[in-house]
C-alpha cells in the first residue's frame, strides 16, 4: 500500500526555519521531520512513499538523491571519478517525488497524484506531524468498516498547564502542558479508497473542507481514535517541544530501532 505525504506547503508559521527550507525538511534530532514520519510507516512494513512537493521541493529531491552517499562512508578516486562505498547504510524505501504545484491546496495535491496510486487503497498524512500510532491497526480498522475514508482523531497537546479543580476550587492535580483528554482533532494518518479522489475538484480544493465534509455527509468517513502520543510541528514552539523530547530520549513517536 502506498503512502502519500503532503510536503508542499509554505509553512509560514515556522518562517524562522522555512525561509530556507520546506517545513518537512526542518530537523528534529538532526534528521528532517519527514524522515521521522517515513520511519513510522516503514516500521510497520509500509515503505512505498509518494511525496507531494511544492514550496522548495528541490531541497527534498536533493536530500533523497544524496541520501545513499550521505548515510555511507566512501572513498573517491578523483582521477577516474570512481566511488567506492566502504560502509553502507541503506533503507528499503521506494520514494516517488512529484511536483504538485507551488500554490496547490492540500486536496489539489492529492488529486494530482491519482495516477500514481494505481486505483488502490492508499494512506495519506501531513509532512509535519508524528505519533506513536500503530499503522497496521489503523489499516485493519479501515478495512473492517468498509467506508471510503478513515481519518485519525487525536487529542491535541494543551498549550498551557492543565488543572483539575473541585467544586470549592481545590486543585486536585496540575499537569504542565499535557496531552488533553477531551476533544478530538484531525491528526492526519488517513486511509482512503481511490474513489475519494472524485470528491476533489481541482488545485484550489482544500482537503479539510469540501472533500472530507462531503465524505462525512455521505456517511463514508470514519474516525480512528488514537489515544496515544501525537504532536504536529506547526510553530517554532512545537519544534522545540519535539526537539526536547528527542534529546531527552522521550520521543514517543520513535517506534523504530
What is the per-residue pLDDT across 78-97, written as a single tens digit (0 to 9) for each?
999 999 988 777 789 999 99
CA atoms within 13 A on the CB side of 37: 32
In a domain, 217, yes or no: yes
Q: What angle do CA 206, 150, 197 make, to 5 degrees?
A: 45
pLDDT band at 164 (very low <50, low <70, confident <90, very high): low
Total tally of structural domains belonging to the chain: 1
In a domain, 79, yes or no: no
What's 143's domain CATH number?
3.90.550.10
Average pLDDT value for the chain: 91
In a domain, 189, yes or no: yes
In a domain, 22, yes or no: yes
In a domain, 82, yes or no: no
CA atoms within 13 A on the CB side of 225: 5
pLDDT band at 179 (very low <50, low <70, confident <90, very high): low
In a domain, 254, yes or no: no
Domain that holds residue 165: 2-73+88-247
- Reported as a single tens digit per residue, the pLDDT across 18-53 is 888 999 999 999 999 999 999 999 999 999 999 999
Amino acid at each position: 500500500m502506498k503512502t502519500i505525504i503532503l510536503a508542499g506547503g509554505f509553512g509560514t508559521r515556522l518562517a524562522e526555519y522555512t525561509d530556507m527550507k520546506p517545513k518537512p525538511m526542518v530537523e528534529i534530532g538532526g534528521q528532517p521531520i519527514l524522515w521521522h514520519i517515513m520511519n513510522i510507516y516503514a516500521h510497520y512494513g509500509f515503505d512505498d512513499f509518494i511525496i507531494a512537493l511544492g514550496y522548495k521541493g528541490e531541497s527534498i529531491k536533493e536530500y533523497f538523491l544524496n541520501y545513499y552517499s550521505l548515510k555511507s562512508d566512501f572513498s573517491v578516486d578523483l582521477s577516474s571519478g570512481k566511488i567506492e562505498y566502504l560502509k553502507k547504510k541503506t533503507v528499503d524505501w521506494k520514494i516517488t517525488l512529484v511536483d504538485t504545484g507551488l500554490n496547490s491546496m492540500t486536496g489539489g495535491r492529492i488529486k494530482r497524484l491519482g495516477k500514481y496510486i494505481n486505483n488502490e487503497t492508499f494512506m495519506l498524512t501531513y509532512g509535519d506531524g508524528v505519533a506513536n500510532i500503530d499503522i497496521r491497526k489503523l489499516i485493519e480498522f479501515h478495512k473492517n468498516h468498509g467506508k471510503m475514508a478513515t481519518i485519525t482523531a487525536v487529542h491535541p497537546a494543551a498549550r498551557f498547564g492543565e488543572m483539575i479543580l473541585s467544586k470549592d476550587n481545590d486543585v486536585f492535580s496540575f499537569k504542565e502542558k499535557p496531552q488533553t483528554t477531551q476533544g478530538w482533532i484531525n491528526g492526519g494518518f488517513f486511509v482512503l479508497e481511490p474513489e475519494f479522489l472524485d470528491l476533489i475538484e481541482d488545485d484550489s480544493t482544500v482537503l479539510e473542507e469540501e472533500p472530507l465534509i462531503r465524505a462525512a455527509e455521505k456517511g463514508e468517513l470514519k474516525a480512528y481514535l488514537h489515544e496515544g502520543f501525537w504532536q504536529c510541528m506547526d510553530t517554532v514552539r512545537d519544534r522545540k517541544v519535539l526537539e526536547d523530547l528527542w534529546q531527552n530520549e522521550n520521543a514517543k513517536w520513535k517506534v523504530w530501532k
